[in-house]
Structures are given as C-alpha cells and as structure tokens.
Amino acid sequence: MQHAKQPCDWEGEKRECPYILDDYKYSFWGWTLLSIGISAKPVRLIRTCSKCHEEIEDITDHKQLMEHIGR
C-alpha cells in the first residue's frame, strides 16, 4: 500500500524543509560494521519529503557522505 501523494505546504528552500527524511544506504561491510556497533560511512543518502514523497537530494559524493558516518 502506497501513501497518497499530498501537496507539500513548505514554501522555502527544499533542503531546509522540516518534513525531510534521510534514508541511508550502506554496503554489505557497512551493515556488518554497524551491526557490531562500529560506525560506518553510508554509500548513498537519499533525502525525501515525508509529506509529498518528492526526492530532494541523492548524495553519493564521498566528502559529503563523510559527514554522515554512524548516523
């Protein structure tokens, strides 16, 4: 079941939207490290608005992902 798409009432910059959810994607080894309590860098970060389900950002840049280690 998919959620119905609702219009987003956020008028400002999309990157600052209060409805943004971060979806971290990890490699096999990343998940292995996280499962034993060691921080790992995600291989991809997808930022999506939880209200309208619009994909705001898809980050794969190594330098930007280094800021999200262990989250």
pLDDT tens-digit profile, the chain (71 residues): 555 666 666 666 666 778 888 999 999 999 999 899 998 899 999 998 888 888 888 999 999 888 877 66
Please give the pLDDT value at position 42.
92
Report CA Rg, the chain.
Answer: 14
What pLDDT is attached to residue 18? Answer: 80
Q: For residues 70 and 40, is the Cβ–Cβ distance under 8 A?
A: yes
Buried b (16+ CB within 10 A) or exposed e, 52-63: eeeebeebeeee
pTM of the model: 0.71
What's the confidence (pLDDT) of residue 69? 78
